[in-house]
């Protein structure tokens, strides 16, 4: 079929089979995906390989998720400074790779860092975001705030909060990554929350509850998500950000993509 007007789908590197990056990216293309999102936390494991093959990979990099040290909300200025420098390094890499930008939940419990909370946290992060947003905008990429659920963070778990930060900074370099899985745990009305993103939405994560596997019939209402994306004119990537798969990648990833493509209105789409 003519793919000119189709939606763009990316998949996380971790769930792709393959001995090296070219094989993983080739498998993503074989399954029908348009790009691959990279996990920044493990970047050091494949950075040299990425630099070697970046011009030869069969698909583009859609974005990088996490990978920075420390936290912008740490009570230690040295830690915050280290985090800002790491974020800028990753934004430079995004620009080099032609990616949309860097996905950034401002703080996760897994990082185990003493951080500011409440209004004080907003004040601290708003002191830092303008410079980071300018840095991103100058490189035509985005620093994308991602709300996650309260089992993983005590800061930024609602779309409303992320959009409010973007509106206060008011810089094209700052944006939002919305995650339908996290939203399903935090938002009372998922379509309304996604609609609130508007122009700030530059990346969209999806996975299935409860195990964050690939989207499949009978789970979350992804059709409602795609209807909102169409309404706000979203043209970016929808990323399958899965922690694991329900079966062999060769089987379930093409099946999931076919299911999602059909939900977007590409009737009788076949991978």
pLDDT at residue 18 tops 90: yes
b/e code 80-115 from CB counts within 10 Å (16+ = b): bebbbebbbebbebbeebebbbbbbbbbeeebebeb
The pLDDT tens digits for 65-103 are: 999 999 999 999 999 999 999 999 999 999 999 999 999
Residue partners of 250: CB distance under 8 A and separation at least 6: 17, 27, 31
* Cα gap 148→180, rounded to integer Å: 10
- pLDDT confidence band for 206 (50 / 70 / 90): very high
- pLDDT confidence band for 172 (50 / 70 / 90): very high
The pLDDT tens digits for 34-49 are: 999 999 999 999 999 9
Q: Is the pTM value of this prediction over 0.85?
A: yes
Among left, alpha and beta (phi > 0; psi -120 to 50; other), residue 113 is: beta
pLDDT of residue 132: 99
Q: Hey, which residues does 145 pair with through a beta bridge?
A: 104, 176
* Percent of the chain predicted with pLDDT > 90: 92
pLDDT at residue 270 tops 70: no
On whether the CB atoms of residues 37 and 12 are closer than 8 A, the answer is yes
* Cα gap 222→59, rounded to integer Å: 25
pLDDT of residue 5: 53
The pLDDT tens digits for 208-252 are: 999 999 999 999 999 999 999 999 999 999 999 999 999 999 999
Pairing between strand 101-104 and 61-65? parallel
Report the 10 Å Cβ neighbour count for 18: 14
Kindly report the CATH number that applies to the domain delimited by 9-263.
3.20.20.150
pLDDT at residue 3 tops 50: no
The pLDDT tens digits for 110-154 are: 988 889 988 899 999 999 999 999 999 999 999 999 999 999 999
pLDDT of residue 118: 83
pLDDT at residue 6 tops 80: no
On whether the CB atoms of residues 161 and 147 are closer than 8 A, the answer is yes
Q: Where are the domains of the chain?
A: 9-263
On whether the CB atoms of residues 74 and 121 are closer than 8 A, the answer is no
Mean model confidence pLDDT for the chain: 95
- pLDDT confidence band for 2 (50 / 70 / 90): very low
* Cα gap 144→133, rounded to integer Å: 9
């Amino acid at each position: 079929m003519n793919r000119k007007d189709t939606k763009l789908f990316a998949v996380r590197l971790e769930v792709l089979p393959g001995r090296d990056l070219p094989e993983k990216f080739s498998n993503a293309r074989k399954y029908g995906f348009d790009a691959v999102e990279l996990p920044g936390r493990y970047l050091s494991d494949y950075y040299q390989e990425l630099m070697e093959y970046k011009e030869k990979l069969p698909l583009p990099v859609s974005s990088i998720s996490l990978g920075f040290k420390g936290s912008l909300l740490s009570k230690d200025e040295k830690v915050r400074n280290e985090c800002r420098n790491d974020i800028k390094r990753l934004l430079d890499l995004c620009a080099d790779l032609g990616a949309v930008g860097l996905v950034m939940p401002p703080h996760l419990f897994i990082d185990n860092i003493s951080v500011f909370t409440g209004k004080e946290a907003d004040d601290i992060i708003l002191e830092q975001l303008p410079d980071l947003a300018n840095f991103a905008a100058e490189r035509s990429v985005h620093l994308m705030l991602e709300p996650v659920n309260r089992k993983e963070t005590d800061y930024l778990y609602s779309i409303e909060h992320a959009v409010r930060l973007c509106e206060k900074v008011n810089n094209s370099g700052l944006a939002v990554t919305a995650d339908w899985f996290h939203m399903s745990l935090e938002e009372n009305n998922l379509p309304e929350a996604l609609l609130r993103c508007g122009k700030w939405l530059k990346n969209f994560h999806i996975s299935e509850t409860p195990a964050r596997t690939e989207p499949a019939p009978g789970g979350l209402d992804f059709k409602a998500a795609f209807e909102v994306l169409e309404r706000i004119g979203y043209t970016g990537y929808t990323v399958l950000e899965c922690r694991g798969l329900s079966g062999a990648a060769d089987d379930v990833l093409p099946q999931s993509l076919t299911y999602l493509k059909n939900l977007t209105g590409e009737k009788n789409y076949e991978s």
